[in-house]
Structure 1
Amino acid sequence: MKRSMKALVAGTTAVATLALAGGAWAEQMKIGITQNNVGVDSYQTTYEKAFKEAAAANPDVDAVVLDAGGDVARQIAQIQDLVQQKVQAIIVWPTNGKAVVPAVKKAHDAGIPVIITNSNIAEQGMPFIAAFSGPNNIEQGKEAADMMCTGLNGKGDIVQISGKPGYTTAIERQKGFEDELAKACPDVKIMDTQPGDWNREKSQRVMEDFLVKYPKIDGVYAADDNMGVGALNAAKAAGRAKDIKFVGATNFAVGYEAMKKGEYYGSVYQSPIDDAKNALQTAIDVIQGKDVPKMNYFKTPQITQENMDQFKKPAF
């Protein structure tokens, strides 16, 4: 019994020492996260599962996991609630990069560090965040443009299916794609751009309209594979898929499978598991006072029919 009591005292002393050394964290770190819209696609569902598992595996973390359901007002209320709970860090996957800025500022003013995950906050919100954790979406757009240039041998007419309007990831991927396309292969022309809202069914309807409007389409760029496969399905139904190069981003399992069949040209490999783990670790590092890059990106390489055997099939 005496030995157990000594161990307990020693352990308590060690925790207290750690708390003092860290300066900002105690025995357990309370970290809140408000996500964009878990039910909208399998990427976000997989991200949430991975985040919960990573948090549960760390005895020093007490996670409060929330989902805004795509509702900006709900997310703002969730951020405010986490401030009231006095969590030690807040992770935000913005429903709208501009609309959440005032709420993020309030958290910052309350002394709570904010980590933005996956999709960045608008430029005016950057002074109020501790770090961004996620993919470089401008670079992903550029990678997709380079694949499109290669697939079309530098010439052709294409259409673009963008993400949800106002969503930073959608804005950045479109910008990266358009800027790089104009620079790398100016003879590839974008005839039309319409939003698919990250939804496969809506993207299929958008592509159906494109197919009616344009008798010749050489390529389709979709801001994620979920939308890209929706476009592919429309083209297959119309008997025109073989004449079109499909390029996406965020390689979903359905995109991987279509690539394996030779129906889908290329995408950008992005893991929601890495995304979630990176966000949680960034929050922990910030709380512990470690030196964290403001833009804490993880790698997202190109994946095509030629190199896909180097990558595992996505789990989402």
Structure 2
Amino acid sequence: MKNTLRAVLAISTAAAGMTFAGAAFADTMKIGISQNNVGVDSYQTTYEKAFISAADANADVETVVLDAGGDVARQIAQIEDLIQQEVDAIIIWPTNGEAVIPAVRKASKAGIPVIVTNSNIAEQGFDFVKSFSGPDNITQGARSAEIMCDKFKDMGIADKAKIVQISGQPGYTTAIERAQGFEERLPEVCPNVTLVETQPGDWNREKSQKVMEAFLVKYDDIDGVYAGDDNMGVGALNAAKASGRDGIIFVGATNFSVGYEAMERGEYWGSIYQSPVDDAEAALQTAVDVLAGKEVPFLNYFDTPKITQDNMSNYSKPVF
């Protein structure tokens, strides 16, 4: 049913959104972007650099690059400012999938196409968005569950394993969807594995380490940790190493360089391979295509494959 709903939304919204796209722009396309929080992790920092580089390489594009610093009110003000500047398109990396909807609606009513990047807004705002460009976070969570389950089966503990989850920033769509994908898929592939508790790590390694320290005090038996990204996963790994708790399987949902290095050391089992450069370039190209009048799918995903210690030699180390 979920996939059917997505297909219907993709078709209906793409058709409705074509009203934004006219003939190809004769002049420079002015594209504004409001990002989530560039300073919070290396993925977002790398994304911004790649976005600026891609825009600089396109002579037909002028950009206004803004960062909300994780502040919803600031992001809403930035979108309103971009509307006042009469930009041709707005790209938004939402700080909160629901709170930004009124501002996105305002842009839509002003005739400015909105492209959501990396983390989608809540479904009730889909009518005001031309396209989402980024990873399929639900699929990422599901693939992480499969990585975890396959490892438990290899270890012979799939019938009794207990795990904890460290999720991302509360209210943030990526965090919600990665947790959802994991929690829905895990009982399908490993019905006897128990998820004992979930706590947010807010995409922060130090906070995630403290969350894991609390888990280790609370639970004598932890066989696995699922983290919304490797930054948080490595924070949890550091807590386990400091406490001398061996044998825990760590799985993330976006492979960072620190996760890749931990995999090389044999301390961290697997993750999902996602490039911030691909992410940034896809968002900009989606906006350019919309303004050029091209038909763009509503859910414009790029692939994010599984990476584990077994196949990591097929992937280059992430730059973030």
Structures share fold, TM-score greater than 0.5: yes
Provide the residue aligned with 1:277 in structure 2. 281
C-alpha deviation, 1:26, in angstroms: 2.7
Which amino acid is 1:138 matched to?
A: I
Note the C-alpha offset of 1:36: 0.1
Q: C-alpha deviations, 1:73-122, integer Å up to 9, x for none? A: 00000000000101110000000000000000000000000000000000
* Structure 2 portions without partners, runs of 5+: 1-20
Aligned equivalents of 2:118, 2:226: Cα separation in 1: 20
Give the structure 1 partner of residue 70 of structure 2. Answer: 70
2-structure distance, mates of 1:105, 1:66 = 19
The answer as to 2:199 corresponding to 1:169 is no
> Which letter does structure 1 place at the counterpart of 2:139?
E
CA contact (8 A) 1:34 1:66 kept: yes
Counterpart in 1 of 2:116?
116
Structure 1 unaligned segments of length 5 or more: list them: 1-20
Aligned to 1:28: 28
Query: Which residue does 1:159 correspond to in 2?
Result: 164
Could you tell me which amino acid in structure 1 is paired with residue 68 of structure 2?
A
Counterparts of residues 231-310 of structure 1 (less than 5 Å): 231-240=236-245, 242-310=246-314
Equivalent position of 1:93 in the other structure: 93
CA RMSD of aligned residues (A): 1.0
Q: Aligned AA for 1:142?
A: A
1:209 & 1:152 partners in 2: Cα distance? Answer: 23
Alignment of 1:32-43 (within 5 A): 32-43=32-43
**Which of structures 1 and 2 has the bigger CA Rg?**
1
SS at match of 1:53: helix
Amino acid at match of 2:127: P
Alignment-derived partner of residue 188 in structure 1: 193
Q: What is the SS of the residue equivalent to 1:243?
A: coil
**C-alpha separation in 2, matches of 1:101 and 1:29:** 24
Letter of the structure 1 residue corresponding to residue 282 of structure 2: N
Corresponding residue for residue 6 of structure 1 = none
Name the CA distance, whole Å, in 1 between partners of 2:22 and 2:176.
Answer: 38
The secondary structure found in structure 2 opposite 1:152 is helix
Q: Deviations over 1:226-274 (max 9, x none)?
A: 000000000000011x310000011000000000110000000000000
State the 1:189 CA deviation. 0.5
Q: Supply the distance in 1 between the matched residues of 2:23 and 2:273 (Cα, whole angstroms).
A: 38
Q: How many residues align?
A: 295
Q: Which amino acid aligns with 2:233?
A: G
In the alignment, the residues of structure 2 paired with residue 152 and residue 237 of structure 1 have an alpha-carbon distance, to the nearest angstrom, of 23
- For 2:50, the aligned partner's letter is A
Residue 192 of structure 1 aligns to a residue in which SS?
strand
CA distance in 1, matches of 2:187, 2:128: 34
In the alignment, the residues of structure 2 paired with residue 212 and residue 36 of structure 1 have an alpha-carbon distance, to the nearest angstrom, of 33
Distance (whole Å) between structure 2 residues aligned to residue 152 and residue 120 of structure 1:
32
Classify the secondary structure of the residue corresponding to 1:138: helix
Superposition TM-score, scaled by structure 1 size:
0.92
Determine the structure 2 residue equivalent to 1:311. Answer: 315
Greater RCO structure (CA 8 Å; 6+ sep): 2
Q: Deviations over 1:210-237 (max 9, x none)?
A: 0000011000000000000000000000
* Distance apart, 1:24 and its partner CA: 5.3
Please tell me the residue identity of whatever aligns with 1:34. Answer: S
| Separation in structure 1 between the aligned mates of residue 168 and residue 22 of structure 2, nearest angstrom | 40
Query: C-alpha distance in 1, partners of 2:165/2:285?
Result: 35
Equivalence map 1:119-158=2 (5 Å): 119-153=119-153, 154-155=158-159, 156-158=161-163
Alpha-carbon deviations, 1:148-174, whole Å to 9, x = none? 101111230000000010000000000
SS for the counterpart of 1:250 is: coil
Equivalent residue letter for 2:136:
N
- 2:44 is matched with which residue? 44
- The equivalent of 1:61 in structure 2 is 61
Q: What residue number does 1:15 align with?
A: none
Aligned counterparts of 1:313 and 1:22: Cα–Cα separation in 2: 41
Q: Is the 8 A contact 1:25 1:88 kept in 2?
A: no
| Structure 1 residue 23 displacement after superposition | 1.9
CA distance in 1 between partners of 2:100 and 2:263 (Å): 37
Say which SS state the counterpart of residue 244 (structure 2) adopts: coil
Mapped to 2, the partners of 1:272 and 1:176 lie a distance apart of 21
CA distance in 2, matches of 1:151, 1:104: 42
Structure 1 partner of 2:104: 104
